[in-house]
Amino acid sequence: MANPNKAKGTAWESAVRDYLNGFLGLVDECGKFLDPMNGANVRRAAQEGARDVGDIHAAPFVLEAKNTSSPAVPTWIRQAEVEAGHAGFPYGIVVRKVRGHSVAMGRVHVSVRTWTRIRLALGMPTQEFAALYGWSVSLRGLDTSRWYLTTTVRDLAHLVGDYRRNVPSGVSARAVR
């Protein structure tokens, strides 16, 4: 790969995918899918051009992976939400690499709106949801569109597993908007 930044991004996407698949028990000890046809497998998405569908699909989440030292979290969150819509998934989130730390300690960012929709789909009170998954709030001035919540990739893995176990697949996430 000629572009070193693209190579860094691809490596981060693959590391997140592999971590989530391992945590969710979807791969064997060698990293091979237990059932390659399982729709629950976490996969890197193919590039789609103008109608990009995000970097990683961990149903019902589309993850936009970022490996950069210059954060632009609100912009990235908007990008993730648009790409989730293109992919037909209800939730777009950002997964950012933290230099010098393991994949599990990567940062996960979501908009307040997406966070609320996930919480409501799980039927959890605000305080319980925040505490269980280690969410912290970032408030950027008075413009609420720049507010977001952050947790770790490890806590995201727990959330994905809990969501898949507790939210019936027939329930539309759009119904909790």
How far CA 176 is from CA of 33, 90, 127, in Å, comes to 32, 11, 18
Rounded to whole angstroms, how far apart are CA atoms 60 and 45? Answer: 14
pTM for the whole structure: 0.90
**Are 31 and 22 in contact, with CB atoms under 8 Å apart?**
yes
| 137 has a pLDDT exceeding 90 | yes
Confidence of residue 171 (pLDDT cuts 50, 70, 90): low
| 106 has a pLDDT exceeding 80 | yes
Kind and range of the H or E element at 117? helix 112-122
| 145 has a pLDDT exceeding 90 | no
What's the order of all strands across the beta sheet hosting 148-152? Answer: 43-44, 56-58, 61-66, 91-96, 107-111, 148-152, 136-138
Confidence of residue 175 (pLDDT cuts 50, 70, 90): very low
**Per-residue pLDDT averaged across 31-51, rounded?**
88
Whether the CA torsion 119, 63, 47, 44 is positive or negative: it is negative
**Domain 4-176, architecture per CATH:** Roll (3.10)
In this prediction, what percent of the chain has a pLDDT beyond 70? 93
In this prediction, what percent of the chain has a pLDDT beyond 90? 78
